[in-house]
C-alpha cells in the first residue's frame, strides 16, 4: 500500500517521487503543496516513497550553490531509484535542466509555475502543468452575476512578460466573441492610469491582472496605490492584492491546494503503469475569494458562489433572511415579532381606513388629471403618435387624434376595424420599410424612415416616421413607440416631383420614357463597368505574371552567373595547362592541381545549372498555371512551396518567416493557377500592409482536407484590420494605402477567384495589433 516513508519491502518495486521545492521547509507555498499532496495520495493502493528536498534558494548565489547542491544530491540518492520529480517553480526547473541528466537521468519530471519554457534536448522527459486561461473563468462569473455590465477594463503593468501573456489573452477574447467591449490599460505612470480609470463609465468592471510595477518600479504598498486609483469602481483581481484591505469584490487566486491535487492526479496515472506522453497538461489552478459584505449590494450571496470559494467579510446571521440554513433563529424572531404586532396593525388599519380612502381618491384624481393633460398634449401634436404591440401595427395600444388629418381615418375607426397600416404604404417602399424597422429592432436602436402612403381618401402623401422599440428586462420586445409626420409640402418643394397643372397621362408617359432611357443608360454603364473590371483583372493578372517573370529571372541570375564564372575560369586554366604542355613545362604537381581545380569547377557548374533548371521548371509550371484555366492534378503542399519559391525575390529581402502546416499528403484535381494567385496575393498583402511596421513577421499557412472539402487557413501576426473596414475589404478599389500605391484590387481579385473560379467561400477574422486570418474553403469537383 502507499506510504510517505522510505521503508519498503524488497518484494515490491517502489515508485520513488522527489518533490523539489525552491525555498525552505517553512515556506507557505511549500507547506500547502505538501499538505495537499499528502491528503490526495492518502488512499492510493500502490507502493511509493515521497522524498522532499528544499533548495533554500533565497540565501545563495545560483551557480556556485547549485553546483554544491548537485554534488550533495548525487551522493545522497546514488542508491535510490527516483522515478518522478515534481518541480514547483522556475527555480527548481532551472536547476533540473542543468543537473537532471547527471543526477536522475531516467526520471520523469512534472513542472509547474513556469513562465519561460525552453523546448530542447534538456526537456526530453519534462511535462509542464499549465493553468487554463483563468481570465475566462472570471469573465464567465461576471456574465452570470453582473447583468448591467457592458465594458471590462483590464489593469496591468507594461512589463514585456505581462504584455506577452496579455497578447494571448487578447487573441482568446477575440476568438470567444464575448458580448462585452474590452479595454486594456496603456500607461506606465500612476497619474495617467488614474485618468484612464476615472474616464470609465458606470457599466464597467475592472479586472486587475499582473499589476506589479509603476514606472518600472516594483509596487510595495498596494493599499495606497489602489486607494488613489479607485473610487466607487467595481473591481475584481486575478490575485489577492490584499483583498480584505482594499475592499474589492473578489479575486481569483493561484491555489497551491489545486496544484497539489493536479500533481496527485498525474502521480496516480503513473502509478497505474500508464505513460504520461503530453508535454503540456492544463488544469484549473485558481480559486475564487469573495468579499460577501461588498457583493451583498448586488444581491450576490455565498449560496451562488462557485464551489470551494473562500469567503471574506461574511455577513452575520440576520443580515440575509432568505438563507434558512444559517438564519433560522433570526427568521423565528422575525416571525414572532410580526405576530405580536399584527393585532396592533389591524386596529391601526381600521382607524386609518377612512382617511386612507379619501387620500387614495385624491391621488386618483391627480393621476387622471395628469393622464388627461398628456393625452391632450399628444392629441394636439401634428401627425400621429402611436404605441403598437408589434411591427405590423395590427395591435394598436395608443393612437393620437392626429391620425384623421394624416390618413383620413378617425382614431375610433382604426381601433374598431383594426386595418393594417402596412396596406396604405406604397408598394415601392414596403420592403425598405419592413427591413429598416426589423434591423432597428434587432440592433435595439431607433429608426428613421421617409416614405409615401395612400390615405383612405386616396391622397398620396410623403411622411417621415421616427420610432423605437420598448423592451422588458430580458430584452424581449413588448411594444413599438413612435410618431409619423406629414412632410408632403416639404417634399414637393425640395424634389419638384409633382407638376400640379400638367396632364397626368403625359406626365406618366414622360416618366416612363425617362425611366426606360435611364434604364438603357444604366445597362450600358453596367456593361462598360463589367468590361473595365475584367480588363483590370486581366491587367492585374498580367502584372502578377510579369512580377513572377522578373522575380524568377532575378533568382536564375545567381546560379547562371556562378556557372558562367566557373566555365570562364575553367577555360582560362585549360589554356594555361595547354601552354605549359606545349612548352614542356608541365610537371606532375601542376597537372594534379589542374585536375583538382577542374573537378571543383565542374561540381560548381553542375550544381548551379541544376539549381537554374529547377527554377525554370518551377517558373514554367507556375507561369503556365497562371495563364491557364485548366484543371490538373497536383500535390497541394508541394505546389504551395513552388509558389513561394517563385516570389522568393520579394520574401528573401525581409526577415519574415513563412510556415506551411500540412499534416498529411493532399493530392487534388483543381485549378493550380487559382491557388497560385491566392497564395501570392495573400503573401504580398501581408508584406506590403500587415508587416509595414514590423521587421520579423510570421505567416502560417494551414492546409487540410476533409473528404472533398479543402481548407486553406492563412494567418499573419501583423497590424490587423480595423473592425469597421472588414465589410469593405473585398470591394473593388477599396484601400487604406492609396497614397502608398495600393490599387484596392488584390483582395477583390482574391474574392472573385475563391467564389467564382473555385466555387468556395472566404472569411476574414482580424484584430488590431494581433493579426489577420483568412479561412478559404472549396469543394473539389
Structural contact between residues 92 and 21, judged by C-beta atoms closer than 8 angstroms:
yes
Structural contact between residues 762 and 750, judged by C-beta atoms closer than 8 angstroms:
yes
**Do residues 663 and 518 both lie within one domain?**
no
Residue 274 located in a structural domain: no
Dihedral (CA of 157, 159, 162, 167) sign? positive
**Do residues 189 and 208 both lie within one domain?**
yes
* Cell numbers for 58: 533565497
What is the maximal distance between C-alpha atoms in the chain?
147
Q: What does the pLDDT read at residue 260?
A: 85
**Do residues 305 and 191 both lie within one domain?**
yes
Residue 146 located in a structural domain: yes
pLDDT for 433 beyond 60: yes
Residue 317 located in a structural domain: no
pLDDT for 485 beyond 50: yes
* Cell numbers for 687: 508584406
Lateral strand order in the sheet of 698-706: 657-662, 698-706, 709-716, 771-779, 761-767
Structural contact between residues 239 and 268, judged by C-beta atoms closer than 8 angstroms:
no
Range of 414's domain? 381-495
Structural contact between residues 229 and 193, judged by C-beta atoms closer than 8 angstroms:
yes
- Which CATH number do you get for residue 752? 3.30.565.10
- Please give the residue that has the higher pLDDT: either 475 or 340: 475
Segment 445-463, tens digit of pLDDT: 888 899 998 887 888 999 8
**Do residues 653 and 770 both lie within one domain?**
yes
**Do residues 668 and 656 both lie within one domain?**
yes
What count of residues does the chain have?
781
Please name the helix (run of DSSP H) or strand (run of DSSP E) that holds residue 438, with its range, or none.
helix 427-443
Q: What does the pLDDT read at residue 189?
A: 86
Residue 330 located in a structural domain: no
Whether the predicted model's global pTM rises above the 0.75 cut: no
Segment 49-59, tens digit of pLDDT: 888 888 876 65
pLDDT for 703 beyond 90: yes
Instruction: Calculate the alpha carbon distances from 299 to 292, 304, 318, 350 in Å.
Output: 10, 10, 15, 36
Segment 569-594, tens digit of pLDDT: 788 888 888 888 888 887 888 888 88
**Do residues 117 and 166 both lie within one domain?**
no
Least confident of 634-643, 687-696, 739-748: 739-748
**Do residues 635 and 722 both lie within one domain?**
yes
- Please give the residue that has the higher pLDDT: either 81 or 23: 81
Structural contact between residues 400 and 384, judged by C-beta atoms closer than 8 angstroms:
yes
- Which CATH number do you get for residue 127? 3.40.50.2300
**Do residues 413 and 428 both lie within one domain?**
yes
- Which CATH number do you get for residue 461? 3.30.450.20
**Do residues 573 and 432 both lie within one domain?**
no
Beta bridge partners of 699: 658, 716
Structural contact between residues 727 and 719, judged by C-beta atoms closer than 8 angstroms:
no
* Cell numbers for 241: 492584492
* Mean pLDDT over each residue of the chain, to the nearest integer: 78
Q: Which residues contact 9 (CB under 8 A, 6 or more apart)?
A: 47
Domain count along the chain: 5
Residue 7 located in a structural domain: no
Least confident of 94-103, 297-306, 348-357: 348-357
Residue 271 located in a structural domain: no
Closest CA to 764 of 781, 780, 777: 777
Residue 500 located in a structural domain: no
Q: What does the pLDDT read at residue 657?
A: 93
**Do residues 190 and 248 both lie within one domain?**
yes
**Do residues 119 and 201 both lie within one domain?**
no
**Do residues 98 and 182 both lie within one domain?**
no
Among left, alpha and beta (phi > 0; psi -120 to 50; other), residue 671 is beta
Please name the helix (run of DSSP H) or strand (run of DSSP E) that holds residue 466, with its range, or none.
strand 460-471
Closest CA to 112 of 180, 184, 223, 30: 30
Q: Which residues contact 681 (CB under 8 A, 6 or more apart)?
A: 544, 746, 747, 749, 750
Q: How far apart are CA 38 and CA 470, in angstroms?
A: 59
Percent of the chain whose pLDDT exceeds 90: 11
Segment 238-259, tens digit of pLDDT: 876 665 566 788 888 878 888 8
Segment 212-237, tens digit of pLDDT: 888 888 887 777 888 888 888 888 88
Q: How far apart are CA 699 and CA 655, in angstroms?
A: 11
Taking each helix axis as running N to C, give the angle between helix 636-646 and helix 672-685, from 0 to 180 degrees, rounded to the nearest 10: 50
Structural contact between residues 486 and 461, judged by C-beta atoms closer than 8 angstroms:
yes
Instruction: Calculate the alpha carbon distances from 766 to 30, 713, 716 in Å.
Output: 44, 13, 10
Residue 334 located in a structural domain: no
| DSSP class of 425 | B
Segment 367-424, tens digit of pLDDT: 455 555 555 556 666 778 888 877 666 677 777 777 777 877 666 666 666 666 778 8
**Residue 612: half-sphere exposure toward Cβ, Cα within 13 Å:** 17
* Cell numbers for 698: 510570421
Percent of the chain whose pLDDT exceeds 70: 76
Structural contact between residues 72 and 55, judged by C-beta atoms closer than 8 angstroms:
no
Q: What does the pLDDT read at residue 319?
A: 43
**Residue 301: half-sphere exposure toward Cβ, Cα within 13 Å:** 12
Amino acid at each position: 500500500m502507499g506510504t510517505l516513508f522510505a521503508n519498503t519491502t524488497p518484494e515490491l518495486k517502489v515508485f520513488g517521487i522527489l518533490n523539489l521545492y525552491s525555498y525552505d521547509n517553512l515556506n507557505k507555498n511549500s507547506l500547502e503543496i505538501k499538505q495537499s499532496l499528502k491528503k490526495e495520495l492518502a488512499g492510493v493502493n500502490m507502493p511509493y516513497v515521497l522524498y522532499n528536498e528544499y533548495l533554500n534558494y533565497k540565501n545563495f548565489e545560483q551557480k556556485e550553490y547549485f553546483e554544491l547542491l548537485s554534488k550533495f544530491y548525487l551522493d545522497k540518492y546514488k542508491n535510490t531509484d527516483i522515478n518522478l520529480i515534481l518541480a514547483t517553480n522556475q527555480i527548481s526547473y532551472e536547476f533540473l535542466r542543468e543537473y537532471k541528466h547527471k543526477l536522475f537521468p531516467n526520471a520523469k519530471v512534472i513542472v509547474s509555475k513556469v513562465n519561460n519554457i525552453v523546448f530542447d534536448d534538456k526537456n526530453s522527459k519534462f511535462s509542464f502543468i499549465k493553468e487554463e486561461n483563468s481570465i475566462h473563468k472570471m469573465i464567465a462569473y461576471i456574465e452570470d452575476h453582473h447583468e448591467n455590465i457592458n465594458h471590462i477594463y483590464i489593469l496591468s503593468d507594461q512589463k514585456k512578460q505581462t504584455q506577452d501573456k496579455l497578447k494571448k489573452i487578447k487573441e482568446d477574447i477575440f476568438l470567444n466573441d464575448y458580448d462585452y467591449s474590452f479595454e486594456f490599460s496603456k500607461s506606465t505612470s500612476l497619474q495617467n492610469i488614474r485618468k484612464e480609470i476615472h474616464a470609465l463609465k458606470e457599466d464597467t468592471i475592472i479586472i486587475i491582472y499582473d499589476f506589479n510595477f509603476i514606472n518600472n518600479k516594483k509596487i510595495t504598498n498596494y493599499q495606497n496605490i489602489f486607494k488613489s486609483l479607485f473610487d466607487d469602481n467595481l473591481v475584481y483581481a486575478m490575485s489577492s492584492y490584499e483583498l480584505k484591505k482594499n475592499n474589492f469584490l473578489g479575486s481569483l487566486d493561484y491555489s497551491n491546494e489545486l496544484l497539489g491535487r493536479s500533481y496527485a492526479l498525474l502521480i496516480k496515472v503513473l502509478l497505474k503503469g500508464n505513460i504520461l506522453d503530453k508535454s503540456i497538461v492544463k488544469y484549473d489552478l485558481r480559486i475564487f475569494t469573495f468579499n460577501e459584505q461588498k457583493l451583498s449590494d448586488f444581491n450576490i450571496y455565498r449560496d451562488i458562489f462557485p464551489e470551494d470559494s473562500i469567503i471574506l467579510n461574511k455577513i452575520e446571521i440576520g443580515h440575509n433572511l432568505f438563507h434558512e440554513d444559517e438564519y433560522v433563529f433570526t427568521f423565528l424572531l422575525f416571525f414572532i415579532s410580526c405576530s405580536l404586532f399584527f393585532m396592533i396593525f389591524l386596529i391601526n388599519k381600521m382607524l386609518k381606513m377612512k382617511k386612507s380612502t379619501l387620500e387614495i381618491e385624491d391621488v386618483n384624481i391627480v393621476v387622471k388629471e395628469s393622464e388627461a393633460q398628456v393625452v391632450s398634449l399628444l392629441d394636439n401634436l401634428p401627425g400621429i403618435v402611436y404605441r403598437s404591440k408589434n411591427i405590423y401595427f395590427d395591435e394598436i395600444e395608443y393612437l393620437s387624434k392626429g391620425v384623421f388629418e394624416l390618413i383620413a381615418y378617425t382614431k375610433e375607426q382604426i381601433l374598431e376595424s383594426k386595418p393594417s397600416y402596412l396596406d396604405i404604404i406604397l408598394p415601392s417602399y414596403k420592403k425598405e420599410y419592413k427591413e429598416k424597422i426589423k434591423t432597428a429592432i434587432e440592433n435595439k436602436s431607433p429608426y428613421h424612415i421617409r416614405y409615401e402612403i395612400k390615405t383612405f381618401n386616396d391622397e398620396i402623401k410623403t411622411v417621415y416616421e421616427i420610432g423605437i422599440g420598448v423592451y422588458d428586462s430580458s430584452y424581449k420586445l413588448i411594444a413599438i413607440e413612435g410618431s409619423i409626420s406629414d412632410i408632403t409640402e416639404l417634399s414637393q418643394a425640395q424634389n419638384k416631383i409633382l407638376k400640379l397643372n400638367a396632364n397626368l397621362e403625359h406626365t406618366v408617359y414622360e416618366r416612363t420614357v425617362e425611366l426606360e432611357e435611364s434604364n438603357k443608360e444604366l445597362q450600358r454603364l453596367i456593361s462598360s463597368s463589367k468590361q473595365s473590371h475584367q480588363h483590370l483583372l486581366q491587367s492585374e493578372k498580367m502584372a502578377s505574371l510579369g512580377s513572377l517573370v522578373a522575380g524568377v529571372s532575378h533568382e536564375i541570375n545567381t546560379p547562371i552567373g556562378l556557372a558562367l564564372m566557373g566555365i570562364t575560369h575553367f577555360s582560362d586554366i585549360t589554356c594555361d595547362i595547354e601552354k605549359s604542355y606545349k612548352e614542356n613545362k608541365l610537371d606532375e604537381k601542376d597537372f594534379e592541381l589542374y585536375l583538382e581545380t577542374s573537378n571543383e569547377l565542374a561540381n560548381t557548374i553542375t550544381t548551379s545549372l541544376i539549381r537554374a533548371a529547377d527554377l525554370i521548371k518551377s517558373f514554367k509550371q507556375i507561369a503556365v498555371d497562371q495563364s491557364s484555366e485548366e484543371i490538373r492534378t497536383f500535390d497541394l503542399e508541394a505546389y504551395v512551396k513552388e509558389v513561394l519559391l517563385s516570389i522568393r525575390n520579394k520574401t528573401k529581402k525581409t526577415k519574415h518567416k513563412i510556415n506551411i502546416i500540412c499534416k498529411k499528403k493532399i493530392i487534388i484535381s483543381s485549378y493550380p493557377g487559382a491557388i497560385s494567385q491566392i497564395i501570392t496575393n495573400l503573401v504580398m498583402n501581408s508584406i506590403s500592409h500587415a508587416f509595414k511596421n514590423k521587421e520579423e513577421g510570421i505567416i502560417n499557412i494551414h492546409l487540410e482536407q476533409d473528404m472533398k472539402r479543402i481548407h486553406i487557413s492563412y494567418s499573419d501576426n501583423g497590424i490587423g484590420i480595423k473592425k469597421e473596414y472588414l465589410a469593405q475589404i473585398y470591394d473593388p478599389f477599396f484601400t487604406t494605402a492609396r497614397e502608398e500605391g495600393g490599387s484596392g484590387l488584390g483582395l477583390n481579385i482574391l474574392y472573385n477567384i475563391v467564389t467564382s473560379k473555385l466555387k468556395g467561400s472566404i472569411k476574414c477574422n482580424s484584430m488590431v495589433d494581433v493579426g489577420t486570418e483568412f479561412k478559404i474553403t472549396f469543394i473539389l469537383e
